[in-house]
Structure 1
């Protein structure tokens, strides 16, 4: 018996395929390949519009959060400025007292005593005044420092806000350009309504099932990558040591075996290494996913080998960079060499001839 969720996915896929068949009922004079490419571009653009719209919503939320943070900082700043103002006169009086010699009587009194008990009393009195003066000055300095920090935070938030607003404008311009292009491509077409129906079906299929499927793979990959250092330790043949140089070589066949041991989802998925690129692709429940990317060595915030998604295809449609970036931020697909041996760090990574090779050395 088909589960409800899978039945929904299958029906959605069938609806998309039905629309494709309807659209392909074209006049005999039409050029099939050219029309196919044209329809593919239209669908891809419509999917990009939907995904970039999501990025605009995310950036808008980020902007609102920044503005709330700025308002909060401004309120704190106003309070701190009032506290500084309250302490300013008092601190000024203390400083003037030392500058004009008004505190000299303390030292004179300490040198003018008739008995030891009187001297101790004068010491207590002097200590009280000096401690009070020190507290007054320290309080003023601390409040002033808080005001200065507040202005620095406000300036930093303001720069962040400007950057977010630039992002927002760029993505909005991008969406408007795509929408205009889409309208121009549809203008005058006799099958425009059918195309819009197909766009809606593809968008619905992506949002109801596609994005969840993609995230399942990314989530499973993230969980598997956390176990990869332990797997490398258990498979000593993958690690070669020459003096202080260490090399990890992972054949794609071995990596695919490892992944399938971690999660059944990889029974429908495989990795390939070639010419500096990683390609991972698979198909399940009428959904084909293809991820192309590369690894880089990073040293901040810690030494690691991070995966970057260069291209993401869903059922043959390329998703925009905003979707790739969002997935990279949500799921950590990094490899951390110090989890193999704490004193190791990665220096280089390469992919060719079906192998992933990582060069490591000792941390200095």
Structure 2
């Protein structure tokens, strides 16, 4: 075949190749792109929740195993202390009986019968040793009882935690089973179940290899920035007002955004928005978008702090489950500690207004 003859055939073949490549690209839409329709979005959210709840079950299982080991060790420690208590109880009993039966009074009477000062001083030293030993025996017995009581209380607390963990495991397993049932039902009703399965798998892989890492990077950067916030407020006294023993911190959202972007370049593509009783954080980078919605509360244990709670977390438009939000809160401290501004002050109230965060503090003497 001449070159002129096969040229049209080659052109047709090339056109078909481009056509099939285009169709395949449309079918294999990356799972990390925001879904185009509501049905797909709900299904992908469920599949993402399955991944995260399964990880939560694994986390709780590991904690449960650690707690079971600690409880077993605590039980063994209590058994050893019970044996020591019996011995010290016997020693303390002998000391108390000696005082009750008058044995120590006899020794004191003998002490007064000595005529020579040298004999008196020698025996006095001996008596002091006896009385010191009596005090030591009684003190050790009292300390042993207190320690044993503390160990028993700690064991009881661990047992309660184990019960709660078992309850959480059952709840999460039931939740996981329900989600898997719904996913299977949705796939059965789908006109393109294979494509949906592929999207779910791609989303799972992308979330675990890229998405979760990026989300943690943002939370880690925010946690570090919050540690620098008290120092920034000291350097910017226009945001801190004092009246008597009361302090008021007023932070406009544009000032907070400027501060955060100075702390980390990650926040250049993110923006904090203060709305009534709610904080919105939105941003995107390199095809990945994250949206966080939350609020602040005042907590006094283990110390006074303004604690941030994540109410909603969206990854590329898909809502992540509460287990993920809680795990991130536990891993990254996003709290604000007023004592780092001025010692002896405590947060009394926090308000989220439109475009402004207001914190009311009071000096505690």
TM-score range, shorter chain: 0.7 to 0.9
2:69 equivalent in structure 1: 68
Matched, 1:138 2:139: yes
Match of 1:222 in 2: 223
For residues 240-274 of structure 1, give each alpha carbon's deviation from its aligned partner in whole angstroms, at most 9, with x where no partner exists.
Answer: 44455433222222222221122111111111111
For residues 158 and 210 of structure 1, the distance between their equivalents in structure 2, rounded to whole angstroms, comes to: 37
Once the two structures are superposed, residues 86-119 of structure 1 have per-residue CA deviations (whole angstroms, 9 ceiling, x without a partner) of: 3333332332233223333212312322433332
Shift of the 121–263 alpha-carbon distance from structure 1 to 2, 3 Å rule, reads closer
Q: Tell me the equivalent position of 1:259.
A: 260
Match in the other structure for 1:111: 112
Are 2:325 and 1:316 equivalent residues in the alignment? no
**Aligned twin of 2:353:** 352
After superposition, residues 118-267 of structure 1 pair within 5 angstroms as 118-267=119-268
Q: Distance in 1 between matches of 2:122 and 2:246?
A: 72
Distance apart, 1:70 and its partner CA = 0.8
Task: Name the counterpart of 1:11.
Answer: none
Residue pair 1:350, 1:356 contacting (<8 A) in 2 also: yes
TM-score, length-normalised on structure 1? 0.85
Match of 1:280 in 2: 281
Aligned partners of 1:221, 1:158: CA distance in 2, in Å?
A: 36
Aligned match of 1:6: none
CA contact (8 A) 2:222 2:334 kept: yes
8 A contact 1:16–1:198 mirrored in 2: no
SS at match of 2:103: coil
Q: CA deviation at 1:17?
A: 7.4
Structure 1 Cα separation of the partners of residues 176 and 317 of structure 2: 21
Displacement of 1:193: 2.4
Kindly provide the CA deviation profile for residues 31-60 of structure 1, in whole angstroms up to 9, marking residues without a partner as x. xx9x92222111101100110111111111
Per-residue displacement from partner, 1:278-311 (whole Å, max 9, x unpaired)? Answer: 1111111111110011122223333322211110
CA contact (8 A) 2:27 2:195 kept: no
Question: Where does residue 19 of structure 1 map in the other structure?
Answer: 28
Deviation (angstroms), 1:210: 0.3
User: Cα–Cα, structure 1 residues 158 and 239, in superposed 2: closer, same or farther, change >3 Å?
Assistant: same
In the aligned structure 1, how far is the partner of 2:247 from the partner of 2:134? 62
SS in 1 for 2:37: helix
Q: Distance in 2 between matches of 1:98 and 1:253?
A: 77
Give, in angstroms, the shift of residue 120 of structure 1.
Answer: 2.6
Q: Give me the whole-angstrom Cα distance separating, in 2, the residues matched to 1:277 and 1:288.
A: 20
1:22-33 equivalent positions in 2, closer than 5 A:
none
Alignment partners' CA distance in 2, 1:279 and 1:135? 62
Q: Which residue of the partner structure matches residue 77 of structure 1?
A: 78
Cα distance change on mapping 1:97 and 1:169 into 2, 3 Å: same
CA distance in 2, matches of 1:166, 1:140: 39
Shift of 1:18: 4.9
**CA RMSD of superposed structures (Å):** 2.5
The 1:18–1:335 alpha-carbon spacing in structure 2 relative to 1, beyond 3 Å, is farther
**Aligned residues between the structures:** 339
What is the CA distance between 1:199 and its match in structure 2?
0.7
Q: Which 5+ residue runs of structure 1 have no aligned equivalent?
A: 1-14, 23-32
User: In the aligned structure 1, how far is the partner of 2:242 from the partner of 2:200?
Assistant: 55
**Offset at residue 129 of structure 1 (A):** 3.2
Cα 1:103–1:201, aligned 2, differ >3 Å: closer, same or farther?
Answer: same
Alignment correspondent of 1:332: 333
* 2:239–2:250 CA contact under 8 A, matched in 1: yes
Structure ID, larger Rg: 2
User: Whole-Å Cα distance in 2 between the matches of residues 321 and 80 of structure 1?
Assistant: 42
In 2 relative to 1, CA 243–190 (structure 1 residues): closer, same or farther, beyond 3 Å? same
Query: Partners in 2 of 1:341 and 1:94 — Cα distance?
Result: 54
Of residues 164-173 and 65-74 in structure 1, the stretch that sits farther from structure 2 once superposed is: 164-173
Q: Is the 8 A contact 2:30 2:202 kept in 1?
A: no
Q: CA deviation at 1:234?
A: 2.5
Is the CA contact 2:30–2:199 (under 8 Å) kept in the aligned structure 1?
no
